[in-house]
Structure 1
Amino acid sequence: MARDPHPTAIFGLVLALSAAAGGASEVHAQNGRDGGVLTIDQLLSIESVVGGAPAWSHDGSAILFESALTGGLATLPPEGGFPTRVPVDMGGAGHFLTSQMPGWSPSGTWISYVSDKSGAPEIWIWSTRDGADVQLTDLGARINSMSWSPDERSIVFAGDRYGNYDIWRVDVATRRVDRLTEDKRYEVFPSWSPDSRHILYVRLDDAWEDHDVIEVDAAGANPRTVIEDRDFFDYGAGATFGYPSVSPEGSSILFRSHRSGWINYWLAPRDGGDPRPVAPAEADQSAAVWSPDGRWIAYTENHNGHHDLRVVSADGGEPRVLVSPKGGVASSPSWSPDGRAIAYLQENLTRPRDLYVVSLEDGTSRGLTSSMPAGNLGGRLVTPEKIRYESTDGYSIPAYLYRPPGAAAGDGLPGVMWIHGGPTSQFHDTFQQHVQFFVQRGYVVLLPNIRGSSGYGKDFADANNGCWGHCDLEDVVAGADYLRALPEVDPERIGITGTSYGGVMSMYAVAFAPDAFRAAIPGSGYTDWVHFYHGENELRHIKLLDHELGPFETSEDVWSHSSSISHVADVSTPTLLVHGVGRYPGSDQSEIFARALENYYKPFQYKTYPNENYYVSGKANRRQMLLDMLDFFEQFLRDEGVAPGGGTAGDR
């Protein structure tokens, strides 16, 4: 779905936007260079130098991580120091040290990674002894997960060479690749028994809602089902459920489940029997890992966007909160080989992600990287307040409220509702670069976790099923009313924006609630689900829509009812549509909405950003998009020449 990378406007009545910096928005974005307000370039310089998940070497002498500084993989000693680059070329595959891709081989002889530098994603291994870089596979297929065998002789992985994911095994010495499964259902996220004699993997049903954990021998024979898990929609094609993890002594399997109404970890006997919860909680849990001796399990737990790092005995009992970053998130724990420390990632509301190590003995953490640029930029960022506001149907909506520094009653500031993607996702205690840009420039911004968001239990996550753009929009409108009631906000100057489902919701807002907002900026949104089904028909989104709106064949009316395109004639809100073009995969959904707005002579602007897929991720394009968004909101939420109800300010 390649798109023309150059257009900035598509129809005669579209208001053109400047593609070059230097207008009023550029001046406004650079105001305060020497004061409290951060310039756009200062804000865009605040980005994490660490990605993926850290992984310890077998001897505990180094931690492997994805580094923005070195442009790939790097290692650091656990005491800290300067990172050492691992000289491998990841290509554009985008897979390195995530939960799907382990790094070190068990003995530390190799570092495994996935790269498309040979033309398609393939498994490569790099020798830590002599620097040899070896391509292990040549399948020309996507790879979504892989695991080293404990004896280091093989890597088992999930590849989709024949149109759906099967389990494959590659022999490291000979590079022989064998296909182990041939089921038409997705078979993914394989792991090994400690003796390297058996493989466990996850088989999804066709709806990606049910999971079976299957065990086979190393040759793929003698399958048996060891775990059955139901009613856990897996938008990540297995990534949400994750790897089944066998205990170091081989008797138990650790797995993630929604069976309690919350995403918790459970332990099942490998030889059969009822599973039990590891540390039951009314909170979602992530990233669980066994300690090397199998006595402990480390994991993270999410409480209203705050994620702490916990350790619990494998036998059960009260978990120990090891790390609880104030206004922040701890993620991706990795045990040291001696079990005395855990490497993890940490970020907060005013600081990007960094690599840390915490001692199990005394709970002391130390940072190994520092992503924050010099100049006390963090001290000039805004820390939001966590609030709740009441919506319809008895829902109390959690949200982050950002107020500009020095905001006071009577200031008449504009307000913006900022909606997250998903919809089954949420805002966390993390640094929001784009939000800070507008808050720094005098906008009061509210980030709600509306019904349908994750992190608040299964019932809340399912509360917008079958009613996208209607029941969840009620939470958005209630949030706008909350903003209007703030003493520093001008109630007539409320806008809305967001990307992906945030863009969808912004389209919903102007179509289904045309009087609720004065300006809207849908980012990479989707407007016509019926057209999407017949046109783009991208598998992961179709599974999501089938799950949340019902199968298209029996629920087309629901899909149509939740399509903003159906009410374009009612739009009265000035709208700026922004999205990327030029790279696969693309989408024509913003253009479809623009064409419909044009056909009804509605007020809108349309801007694309080159060399992107549908979403805008490049730094230069993100910079320009922020300037364009600022221009638009300044015109429609601040312009003193036009009164909110029409006419001029003098008429009022």
Structure 2
Amino acid sequence: MPKKKLVTERDLLTLKFLRGFALSPDEKEIVYVLEWIDEKDNKYYSNLWLVGTDGKNNRQFTFGKYKDSSPVWSPDGKKIAFVSKRGEKIGLHIINRDGGEANKLVEEEGAFTNLSWSPDGKFVLGAFRKTEIHKDKEGKKVAPVFREIGRLFYRLDGDGWLPKDRFHIWKYEVATGQGTQLTKGKYEEVSPAFSPDGKTLCFVSNRQPDPDLDTDRMDLYLISSEGKNFRKVSAPDGPKAEPAWSPEGKRIAYLAHTNTKDAWGVTNFHVWVVDPGKRGSAKDLTPKLDRMCLDLGISDTGEAAHGGKVSWSRDGKKLFFMVTDRGSVDLWSVTLDGKMTQITKGKHRVMGFDTNGKVNLLAYSQADFTSCGDLYVTTQAGRSRRLTEVNRDWFGKSQVQIPEEISFLSIGGQKLQGWIIKPPNFNPKRKYPAVVEVHGGPRVQYGNVFMHEFQYLAAKGYVVFYCNPRGSQGYGEKFAGCIVKAWGTYDYQDVMAGTDFLVSKPYVDKNRIGITGGSYGGYMTNWAVGHTNRFKAAVTQRSVVNLVSFFGSSDIGFEDWREFGGQVWENWDHYLKMSPIYYVRNIRTPLLIIHNEGDLRCPIEQAEQLFTALKVLKRKVAFVRFPEEFHGLSRSGRPDRRLERLRRIGGWFGRYLK
């Protein structure tokens, strides 16, 4: 049998990634999006594939170097609508299920989202936002002469400068491509959904006097399919998402909570149902569930966290949704009287699901320790079948180490969950260097999924340790919320308790321990090296350094009051003492700073402050900047930059831990 090869940074160029899917109305097929990397072009492309729900006839459906995404089936199952850029502009395209060339429905400079078909199959519905394009006299795209800012929320990481236009609801006639704008104005409308009879639309919108100052007051609204008879659905205040009509059209399910002053993702989203014609009818079906009804798992190869959906059974008596719990994400159901049932079980992450037709089957995507994400179907009783193995060849040839789940106690007797990955060809009599990884968020979870970066470090001879400290999701609201106004307290103690557990292992060299993390994980890396000299080396990535300046420079800094307690000018001392920059004189650990120049979430000025201070203090520090990249370089950055990032991390630890 051929010897399996060690994991390297270049394996990212080989892996393929599942990026979306839809179940056909007859429940016999799934159309899905498979993303791949072209090394020569240094770009990502994606195409549509089809697979039978019996696991047979898996084949590529669209071809070429395009970015096909967001497929949705027509009600009769004969057509598939999807988003793609096949010309100068992005557009909606329709392709026959039996094959052939895709036909352009509409092409615009902008962004399409939340696609669906009208029940009669005559229209494609969606939310669209027009992009502002500036051109010179020859028609070439150029930067504007100036930007005049009037809105508080004027940029978004990953999107850049937001256009003046907002997302509004459009419908496009399939026969002609004629688009009709159904909502207009200064507010934004998303997640539109046709009622079963096609006469009414439900959507989500924040129509407070200034939505940017009151971001968690979302409401459900109804309009006719012609854009008339606008009215608000009576429901408690709070954020709302993913409205779904019941089969008979008398009720709407949605995901929500009622804490309008929530910190950054502490309060649990639950499954709600409302009768849109009856005041006071909104009801939380899962009030005793102390978990998020969302996918809050993270990995560096799968979709980003925060996905959610709710879907009805055909008889309208049951709803399906996802739950994040102790390192896994699973499918659940709840009846209208509140009886909950877990459908999928195991050590994995369900990243999304879809239903259609008679709802005899649920299609879902799942990642685990040996899969970046594959398609499955299950019955409502939980009898599952795997349909794809998109990276079977790679996993079959690579020496992937299965993490060992562990538990340990922290301050106050708090029990914590973590994982250890041992190097390939592990020898228990040896002493290995180790790396502590800290996740971002903080309201997400590490879990039972494949992490390429961790496997890369293990292949270089490191023991890799990671856990979910207090402040993470998956363990209830109290666990998630205990670090509100108190970053660097319980969370830091938990990371250090995990480090203590790690070095208690006879195969770990306590004098060769490194630490790294990105975003909030970068904050915790900075905090740790400012409070202890136990780490031999550290790599901080896209990190938070100074909460005072973060308020004005981050795209979401104006929401700091939720997480840190009051506005910054009301509590300067508190913000500053919760900032790693306050303790910069204590840093003696050799530190590599990795940051992205286009990061709007944790702007590069954060890294510049830390680097400048450490250079003035004559400490061991290096600063690597990645041009153009937004916050999510490790998951979606330009391929060559993702590889270089891994090389830099491996090189720094190799210099100080080997």
Q: What TM bracket, shorter-length normalisation?
A: 0.7 to 0.9
User: How far off is 1:557 after superposition?
Assistant: 4.3
Show the counterpart of 1:422.
441
Secondary structure at 2:535 match in 1: coil
Query: Partner letter of residue 355 of structure 1?
Result: L
Q: Which runs of 5+ in 1 are unaligned?
A: 1-32, 233-240, 639-652
> Which segment is superposed worse, 577-586 or 279-288?
577-586
User: How far off is 1:84 after superposition?
Assistant: 2.6
Quick one: structure 1 residues 630 and 176, their matched pair in 2 at CA, closer, same or farther if it must change by over 3 Å? closer
Query: Partner letter of residue 83 of structure 2?
Result: V
Quick one: structure 1 residues 499 and 120, their matched pair in 2 at CA, closer, same or farther if it must change by over 3 Å? farther
How many residue pairs align between the two structures? 581
Quick one: structure 1 residues 369 and 277, their matched pair in 2 at CA, closer, same or farther if it must change by over 3 Å? same
Show the counterpart of 2:136.
none
User: How far off is 1:136 after superposition?
Assistant: 2.7
User: How far off is 1:108 after superposition?
Assistant: 3.7
> CA–CA distance in 2 between the matches of 1:583 and 1:420?
18
> CA–CA distance in 2 between the matches of 1:230 and 1:461?
22
Query: Partner letter of residue 345 of structure 2?
Result: S
User: Is contact 2:403-2:420 (8 Å) kept?
Assistant: yes
User: How far off is 1:302 after superposition?
Assistant: 2.6
Secondary structure at 2:522 match in 1: helix
Work out which of the residue numbers 330, 339, 344 in structure 2 matches 1:323: 344
Query: Partner letter of residue 606 of structure 1?
Result: F
User: Is contact 1:609-1:621 (8 Å) kept?
Assistant: yes
User: How far off is 1:60 after superposition?
Assistant: 3.7
User: Is contact 1:332-1:344 (8 Å) kept?
Assistant: yes
User: How far off is 1:316 after superposition?
Assistant: 4.6
> CA–CA distance in 1 between the matches of 2:94 and 2:606?
40
> CA–CA distance in 2 between the matches of 1:473 and 1:55?
42
Quick one: structure 1 residues 364 and 209, their matched pair in 2 at CA, closer, same or farther if it must change by over 3 Å? closer
User: Is contact 2:84-2:91 (8 Å) kept?
Assistant: yes
User: How far off is 1:191 after superposition?
Assistant: 1.6
Whether 2:612 is the aligned partner of 1:595: answer yes
Show the counterpart of 1:55.
22
Q: Residues 620-652 of structure 1, C-alpha deviation per residue, up to 9 Å, x if partnerless?
A: 4333332322222122223xxxxxxxxxxxxxx
> CA–CA distance in 1 between the matches of 2:571 and 2:48?
46
Show the counterpart of 2:198.
196
Show the counterpart of 1:16.
none
Whether 2:269 is the aligned partner of 1:267: answer no
> CA–CA distance in 2 between the matches of 1:42 and 1:167?
41
CA RMSD of superposed structures (Å): 3.4
User: Is contact 2:183-2:189 (8 Å) kept?
Assistant: no
Whether 2:416 is the aligned partner of 1:397: answer yes
User: Is contact 1:63-1:75 (8 Å) kept?
Assistant: yes
Quick one: structure 1 residues 621 and 212, their matched pair in 2 at CA, closer, same or farther if it must change by over 3 Å? same
Secondary structure at 2:273 match in 1: strand
TM-score using structure 2 length: 0.79
> CA–CA distance in 2 between the matches of 1:403 and 1:369?
25
Q: Residues 459-482 of structure 1, C-alpha deviation per residue, up to 9 Å, x if partnerless?
A: 222222222334422222222222
Secondary structure at 1:136 match in 2: strand
Which one has more relative contact order, counting CA pairs under 8 Å at least 6 apart?
A: 1
Q: Which runs of 5+ in 2 are unaligned?
A: 37-44, 131-162, 260-266, 295-308
> CA–CA distance in 2 between the matches of 1:171 and 1:573?
58
Secondary structure at 2:396 match in 1: coil
Show the counterpart of 1:64.
31
Show the counterpart of 2:323.
301
User: Is contact 2:322-2:332 (8 Å) kept?
Assistant: yes
Work out which of the residue numbers 46, 61, 72 in structure 2 matches 1:103: 72
Quick one: structure 1 residues 279 and 141, their matched pair in 2 at CA, closer, same or farther if it must change by over 3 Å? same
> CA–CA distance in 1 between the matches of 2:574 and 2:81?
45
User: Is contact 1:285-1:302 (8 Å) kept?
Assistant: yes
User: How far off is 1:543 after superposition?
Assistant: 5.3
Quick one: structure 1 residues 72 and 500, their matched pair in 2 at CA, closer, same or farther if it must change by over 3 Å? farther
> CA–CA distance in 1 between the matches of 2:389 and 2:381?
22
> CA–CA distance in 1 between the matches of 2:469 and 2:395?
36
User: Is contact 2:523-2:540 (8 Å) kept?
Assistant: yes
Quick one: structure 1 residues 628 and 223, their matched pair in 2 at CA, closer, same or farther if it must change by over 3 Å? same
Query: Partner letter of residue 576 of structure 1?
Result: L
Work out which of the residue numbers 580, 583, 588 in structure 2 matches 1:567: 583
User: Is contact 1:137-1:170 (8 Å) kept?
Assistant: no
User: How far off is 1:354 after superposition?
Assistant: 1.0
> CA–CA distance in 2 between the matches of 1:393 and 1:544?
31
User: Is contact 2:291-2:477 (8 Å) kept?
Assistant: no
> CA–CA distance in 1 between the matches of 2:614 and 2:271?
47
> Which segment is superposed worse, 204-213 or 249-258?
204-213
> CA–CA distance in 1 between the matches of 2:569 and 2:115?
35
> CA–CA distance in 2 between the matches of 1:461 and 1:48?
33
> CA–CA distance in 1 between the matches of 2:288 and 2:65?
42
Quick one: structure 1 residues 270 and 475, their matched pair in 2 at CA, closer, same or farther if it must change by over 3 Å? same
Whether 2:374 is the aligned partner of 1:351: answer no
Whether 2:366 is the aligned partner of 1:341: answer no
Quick one: structure 1 residues 371 and 304, their matched pair in 2 at CA, closer, same or farther if it must change by over 3 Å? same
User: Is contact 1:298-1:333 (8 Å) kept?
Assistant: no
What is the 5 A alignment of 1:153-192?
Answer: 153-161=122-130, 163=164, 165-172=166-173, 173=176, 175-184=178-187, 186-192=188-194
Percent identity of the aligned residues?
A: 25
User: How far off is 1:66 after superposition?
Assistant: 0.7
What is the 5 A alignment of 1:124-143?
Answer: 124-126=93-95, 128=97, 131-136=101-106, 138=108, 140-143=109-112
Quick one: structure 1 residues 168 and 183, their matched pair in 2 at CA, closer, same or farther if it must change by over 3 Å? same
> CA–CA distance in 2 between the matches of 1:519 and 1:145?
45
Work out which of the residue numbers 473, 490, 495 in structure 1 matches 2:509: 490
Quick one: structure 1 residues 215 and 624, their matched pair in 2 at CA, closer, same or farther if it must change by over 3 Å? same
